[in-house]
Structure 1
Amino acid sequence: MPRSKRDKKVSLTKTDRKGLAWKQRFVDDIRFCVGKYPNIFVFQVQNMRNSILKDLRQEWKNNSRIIFGKNRVMQIGLGRTKSEEMEAGLHKLAKRLNGQVGLLFTEKSKEEVLEWAENYWAVEYARSGFIATETVTLPAGPLEDFAHSMEPHLRSLGMPTKLEKGIVTIYSDYTVCEEGKVLTPEQARILKLVGKPMAKFRMTIQCSWTKSDGFQLHVEDGINDETQVDSAVEEDAEEMDEDDDNEDEAE
């Protein structure tokens, strides 16, 4: 019997990964933005969602650039010390690149960006581990928005459901979550299915650097600007994986 063409083994050693060349392009891209845009901001993200970040990039694409990537690689692009930085004071921005943060390069004024960040937020669905902001209870009765094929899945999530004449029905009142308690993966999934968003996507401007005013801190962080940023750069390819939520290659 002839061997199927689909029966092939693919060595994972042939898989392409982001390496030193990619990091160098990323660093060069940041340095290009430093020369192009007069104002730079370090922002922190709450309840990160890639879809919202893509929308923001589209909204700001005409006169700005949002970069969200590997913190230590971004530090190299800005300059980790006074001797490495392209412009005076940029190493102070590099010191604030810790945690889930990104860079905003823009032609918009500092006042305009700060006002926008203060008022911007977007409603999103909570994930597991999120603290419920309210108690959500589903009353007994039909769930006509769900197809009958969804009933087994809803039951597997813990909901007291059954089919009545082909309609998904809750046969007793069901409390999905309680205010102040941590959401489980099943609870987070149910809240999304029933259309109950609890989380808010927000961007907080931690600090800024402008060609006219230099560095300015907007959120106190207790960082000593006299100490140097750790110059070690991680080369672990696994941490540079494309599926990492805190990584987004430069566009």
Structure 2
Amino acid sequence: MAHVAEWKKEEVNELKGIIDSAEVVGIVNLLNIPARQLQEMRKTLSGKATIRLSKINLMKLALEDCVNEKANITELSDYMEGQPALVCTDMNPFRLYKILEDSKTSAPAKAGAIAPEDIVVPAGDTGFPPGPFLGDLQQIGVPAKIDKGKIVVQKDTTVVEAGEPVPKAVAAALTRMDIKPMEVGMDLKAVYEDGSIFKADVLAIDEEETFADIQNAFTRAFNLSVFSAFPTSETISTIISTAHTKAYNVAIEAAIPTGKTSDMLIALANAKMLALAGELASDAIDDEIANKLANVAVAAAPVVEEAEEEVEEEEEEEEDKSEETAALGLGALFG
């Protein structure tokens, strides 16, 4: 039987102790993370989570030793890839995922690295003067030309599709243009909590969308409770208030006097009385005006008749004059 080095036994025991002491255990991939950035991430997680990097086989042994206390935890071994490490914490898995995602930073693309998403060179002025770089861009499939003394990309161009490795020439061109399409940070692969394994795609939720969905669900449940008169601690006051309003309105419409409705009923009756009085007064005024106009018309009738007679007399005199003038003209012509 092969002898197991003492340090390995101690390492497994130490890992087991860290795992046992945490409510949540995750697997992260630290591949290609610069040492400086890794130190910054450790500071960010200080007091919140413990990151422990060790040999893969030793971490797997530690997980196996914890299976009695944490059922199904050995399934985390399936997510160890790249340069795996354990992250142990008591915080919510979704909170852990968000912290790790927020700690990621943009980085230049390296030759051979896998593009996490489509890498696009945007249209516009590159800031470079005419020179060999124009040929470099055209070589990687980017339509570029010289315009006003600068190299200009004519349209947005995808140079690497998601999931594809970055060619060396593309990596060099992107670096020169200060395009940083990669993200560097701890890549959380899976998390264990209370017998369940949560993969990264489950933990990646849109906080604003989720919050809006919860608000919408609460509003619908609240309205359903109120409309169906199903009392809860959140809706009882609204249900009572709604019932009171409906009862009050029924009493007002039916003119049922109570201690709450009497003042309103009297006010409504008074308002209707004033409106009716106003209508009657308006009708009386209209009748009076009509009578006055009729009296004026009767008084003015003789004057109108006299004026019409004068107009007729004047018209007759004009006609007589016209006939006399015509007769004199004919006499002079044939006389």
When the two structures are superposed, what TM-score results if normalisation uses the length of structure 2?
0.41
Give yes or no for the alignment of 1:197 onto 2:180: yes
String of CA shifts for 1:115-157, please: whole Å, max 9, x gaps: 43465532122121234611268454189xxxxxxxxxx99xx
* Map of 2:293 onto structure 1: none
Q: Where does structure 1 lack aligned partners over 5 or more consecutive residues?
A: 1-18, 144-153, 161-170, 222-251
Secondary structure of the residue aligned to 1:178 is strand
Q: Which one has a larger percent helix, Structure 1 or Structure 2?
A: 2
String of CA shifts for 1:33-89, please: whole Å, max 9, x gaps: 1243333223456x7423433321121122321123332221011216xxx636231
Give yes or no for the alignment of 1:70 onto 2:55: yes
Q: Which one has a larger percent strand, Structure 1 or Structure 2?
A: 1
The one-letter code matched in structure 1 to 2:199 is V
The one-letter code matched in structure 1 to 2:120 is E
Secondary structure of the residue aligned to 1:26 is helix
Secondary structure of the residue aligned to 2:120 is coil
* Map of 2:199 onto structure 1: 219
Question: Percent identical across equivalent pairs?
Answer: 11
The equivalences for 1:102-113 within 5 A come to 102-113=85-96
* Map of 2:74 onto structure 1: 92
1:58 to 38, 43, 47: 43
Q: Where does structure 2 lack aligned partners over 5 or more consecutive residues?
A: 139-148, 202-335
Structure with more contact order per residue of length (Cα contacts < 8 Å, sep ≥ 6): 1
* Map of 1:49 onto structure 2: 33
Larger Rg: 2
Q: 1:189, 1:58 → 2: CA distance?
A: 32
Secondary structure of the residue aligned to 2:59 is helix
1:141 to 129, 148, 170: 129
When the two structures are superposed, what TM-score results if normalisation uses the length of structure 1?
0.52
1:27 to 3, 6, 12: 12
Secondary structure of the residue aligned to 1:57 is helix
The one-letter code matched in structure 2 to 1:191 is L
The equivalences for 1:169-180 within 5 A come to 173=151, 178-180=159-161
How large is the RMSD of aligned CA atoms in angstroms?
A: 4.2
Number of equivalent positions:
174
The equivalences for 1:231-250 within 5 A come to none
Q: 1:178, 1:111 → 2: CA distance?
A: 34
Give yes or no for the alignment of 1:184 onto 2:172: no
